Amino acid sequence: MKIYLLTRNAGLYSSRRILEAGRYRGHDIRPMDYRNTSLVLEKGKSRIIYNNGTLSLPDAIIPRIGASHTFYGAAVVRQFQMLKVLTAVDSDALLRSRDKFKCLQLLNMQGINMPITGFAGSNNNADDLIKAVGDAPLVLKLLEGTQGLGVLLQDTNKGAKSVLEAFNQVAAKMMVQQFIKESTGTDIRAIVVGGKVVAAMKRIAPQGEFRSNIHRGGRGEKIELSYQEEQAAVQSAETLGLGVAGVDMLISEEGPKVIEVNSSPGLEGVEGCTKLDIAKEIIIYLENEHKRSK
């Protein structure tokens, strides 16, 4: 197959590994900076301009869209889909996953367990929102944050209200989430590819930090998921329509609680601790989807 990897930086670990896996399996796979495209619509036609010319279409694309370029990146993916190019990540699924509250709303509709979560439209509702979620300690999250950025733990209702008010002043959207005490400093990242969990790790925060993200200094340990954890991960990816996803869960006394679904999960931490070839699994998934589409 001819495959384009949509990425801002082909030298990043995840991009490099996917390119290596695709070439190892005999595909013509090449990186493409999706930011350097122009999208053109004409009556009954559409095309993509790249490097001053109309782009030669591949058989498939693998989007690795950065959070700061979600809107345009999704438009590029959608344009490829309009041109009947297979994609590992659907454009609408990408947008659903990037809006954290919308993501949780969709999971909630399917009965998937999660921490109590609230979102309000103004400072005037802060007290009611905090009370509804269950009082401090509370976790506050920017709706568009990534890699643990924009995630704060507040030990008092007053502190939580102050943070909400401050972010509201700069038009930053935040949600308030129940703090799961028994999972402090740990969570689970499950990688789902083609409707099955292909790898999972427990992420453990460094001392003095409640966020367990690898980018925040956390470390990973390979784990085997319980049936309940595996089902929560698979169902979450399916609910959002993601063929490739990283599903983050907290382990509570009530079982797993999903906190986030990532449409471009990083591979370095999970491949490093599990020693599994996740990049190869993504390529095999794309191969199988290509066969089904014929």
Which one has a higher pLDDT value, 184 or 272? 272
Cβ–Cβ < 8 Å for 46, 39:
yes
| Mean pLDDT comparison of 173-177, 219-223, 276-280, highest-scoring range | 276-280
Q: What is this structure's pTM?
A: 0.89
Give mean pLDDT, residues 17-43.
97
Question: For residue 195, what pLDDT band results from cuts at 50, 70 and 90?
Answer: very high
Q: Report angle CA 93, 95, 97 to the nearest 5 degrees.
A: 70
pLDDT in tens, 111-148: 999 999 998 776 667 888 888 998 889 999 887 755 55
pLDDT score recorded for residue 147: 53
**pLDDT > 90 in the chain, percent:** 66
Question: For residue 172, what pLDDT band results from cuts at 50, 70 and 90?
Answer: confident
Residues with Cβ within 8 Å of 227's Cβ and at least 6 positions away in sequence, in order, are none
Question: For residue 42, what pLDDT band results from cuts at 50, 70 and 90?
Answer: very high
DSSP state of 27: -
Q: Could you tell me which of 131, 119, 211, 132 has the C-alpha nearest to residue 168?
A: 119
pLDDT score recorded for residue 143: 79
Measured CA to CA, the distance from residue 234 to residue 218 in angstroms comes to 24
Give mean pLDDT, residues 44-60.
92
